[in-house]
Amino acid sequence: MAVRAVRGATQLESDTREQMLERVAEMVTDAMESNGLDVDDFISVIFTATADLVSEFPAYAARQLGFSDVPLICARELEIEGSMPRVVRMLAHVESDLARADVTHVYLHGAAALRRDLTRTRSVPDEG
């Protein structure tokens, strides 16, 4: 088993607790499914959120998915002029047999535009 890093990002349409929990759970679940992971494979997860997101801690969504024994932390994203608003990012450290090049990073909703260079980037269409 090797230690691998899995990245992800999602964008919220509005800063509501419900959407924070929904979008972060979607991002974490998608990263798990795309990489064949379960909760026991996670070593730790760092979540960052832009300054305009204050409705809920992103880590709480992971706790609701069963991440009770996984160290989680939330931090504030740098406020860079012109950066995308309402974004939650994730950096998860996992144990996996995947080669580094085979790890799938997930960028959902508007955040898909952040890393177009990742060939396996997935965009989930917004509802509406």
Tell me the per-residue pLDDT of 47-96, one tens digit each, with 9 for 90 and over.
Answer: 999 999 999 999 999 999 999 999 999 999 999 999 999 999 999 999 99
What's the domain count of the chain?
1
In a domain, 125, yes or no: no
CATH number for position 111: 3.30.1330.40
Separation between Cα atoms, residue 128 and residue 126, nearest integer Å: 6
Quote the mean pLDDT of the chain: 91
In a domain, 120, yes or no: no
In a domain, 123, yes or no: no
Expressed as residue numbers, the domain containing 73 is 2-115
Separation between Cα atoms, residue 44 and residue 49, nearest integer Å: 17
